[in-house]
Amino acid sequence: MRKILFLIAISPIYLISILPIGLLYFVSGIVVFFISRVLRYRRSVVTVNISRAFPSFRYRAIEETSKKFYKNFAEIIAENIKAASLSKKTISKMGYIENPEILSKYYKKGCPVIVVGGHMGNWELLGKIEHFKNSDLMGFTGHHINFIYKKQRSTVADDIIKWIRKANSNVQLIESKSAARSIIKSREKSGCYFLFSDQSPKPGSRFSLSFLNQPTLMLNGPEVISRSIGCPVVFIEMVREKRGEYIVRFHDITENAAECEPGYVTQTFARLLEKAIQQQPDNWLWSHKRWKRECTIAQ
C-alpha cells in the first residue's frame, strides 16, 4: 500500500517537473504571491525576523527584503520540483564550486569532515553537489557525501522527499537521529557530512550566543560530534548569483575540532553565517520561526 501511495504521489510531481523551468518559475511565483500576499502565511514572522535582525533597516528596506525573499522562495520551489527530472548537465550549470581545494585537502588525508551550513540559496540543490562545476576537484564523490536530514512523520512524504533528493544523485541520506552514531562509527573512513544547523533547537539546548542582533539558542550537534572524533569542520556558503545559478564557497572553521576551546566551532559557524546573511539579506529562510524560544546569553 505504501508503494502504491508513493507512486500515485510522485507521478504528477514528475510530470510537472518535465515542464520548462520558465513556466515553473511563473506558476510558483503566482502561488507564493497568493500565499504571502492574500493568505499572508507567516508574513508577520518574516517581517519581525528581518526587522530584529537588521535594526538599522527602515520600513522600506524591510519590505524590499521581504519581497525579494518570497521571490527567491518561489524560485526554490520551482527548482526543487524541476530537480526530479534534471539532467546532470543541467545541474552542472546551476552550481559552481569556487574553492573545491578546501575539501580536497581533507579527502587526501582520508579523514571525515563535517560541513555545516544554513538555509541559504537553494540548499536542497546541494544534495546534487557532486554534479556542480569543479565538483571533481573536491575529491569526495557521491558515495562519500552524506546529508543529514530530518525524517518526516508521514512515511509517504518522507519517501517523496528522499526520491527528489536522490534523483540523479549518489549522495547518502542519514536520519538526524542516527547522525552522531553513523559519523562516529565511520570516524576512520574518508567521508563528507553535510549538516544544516541554523534552525531552532529543541528545548533544553544549552548553547546560546548573539546572532543577528538577538540572543539565540544554537544547535551544537556539529561541535559535539566533531570534538568527539577530532575531525575538521568547514562552513559552506551558497550565494545566489542570479535565477537558477549559485556559487558555493567553503570556509575552514578548524582542522581539528578536538583541539578547539568549547564553543569555538559553534561560535565561528554563527559568525560566518551571520556575515553571509548580512551580505545577501534576502537569501536566507526568514519564514522559519528561528527565535520562538527565548534565551539569555551567559555573561
Average pLDDT estimate for 232-252: 96
| Backbone torsions φ then ψ of 287, nearest 5 degrees | -80, -5
The mean pLDDT value for 200-210 works out to 80
**Average pLDDT of span 251-269:** 96
In the chain, where the domains are located: 88-283
- Over range 82-105, report the average pLDDT: 93
For residues 248-252, average pLDDT: 98
Q: In whole angstroms, what separates CA 131 from the centre of its chain?
A: 17
Strand partners, 97: 248
Residues 164 and 89: their CA atoms lie apart, in Å, by: 17
Beta bridge partners of 239: 247
Residues 6+ apart with CB under 8 A from 63: none
**What's the whole-model pTM score?**
0.93
Selection from 215, 207, 198 nearest residue 263 by Cα: 207
Q: How far apart are CA 58 and CA 243, in angstroms?
A: 27
Residue 176's pLDDT is 87
What does the block give as the cell for 37? 500576499
pLDDT in the model for residue 298: 56
Virtual CA dihedral for 288, 71, 248, 173, nearest 10 degrees?
50
Residue 37 or residue 234, greater confidence: 234
- Would you call 120 helix, strand, or coil by DSSP? strand
Q: Pinpoint the alpha helices (H) of 152-192.
A: 155-166, 179-185
Q: What is the CA radius of gyration of the chain?
A: 19
Tell me how far apart the alpha carbons of residues 243 and 215 are, in angstroms, rounded to a whole number.
Answer: 33
CB atoms < 10 A from the CB of 158, how many? Answer: 16
> What is the model's pLDDT at position 102?
96
Q: What pLDDT band is residue 11 in, cutting at 50, 70 and 90?
A: confident
Instruction: Report the pLDDT averaged over residues 2-30.
Output: 85
Contact assessment for residue 219 and residue 199, using Cβ atoms and an 8 Å cutoff: yes
Q: How many whole angstroms separate alpha carbon 57 and alpha carbon 264? A: 30
- Which of the 8 DSSP states describes residue 64? H
- What kind and span of H or E run contains 30? helix 21-33
Burial of 198 (0-12, 13-18, 19+ CB in 10 A): buried
Residue 263's pLDDT is what? 92
Res. 268 pLDDT band, cuts 50 70 90? very high
What's the half-sphere exposure (Cβ side, CA atoms, 13 Å) at 90? 13
The fraction of the chain above a pLDDT of 90, given in percent, is 64
The pLDDT value given to residue 200: 85
Residue 296 scores a pLDDT above 80: no
Is residue 210 within 8 Å of 216, Cβ to Cβ?
yes
The mean per-residue pLDDT over the stretch 53-79 comes to 95
Return the C-alpha cell found at 85. 527530472
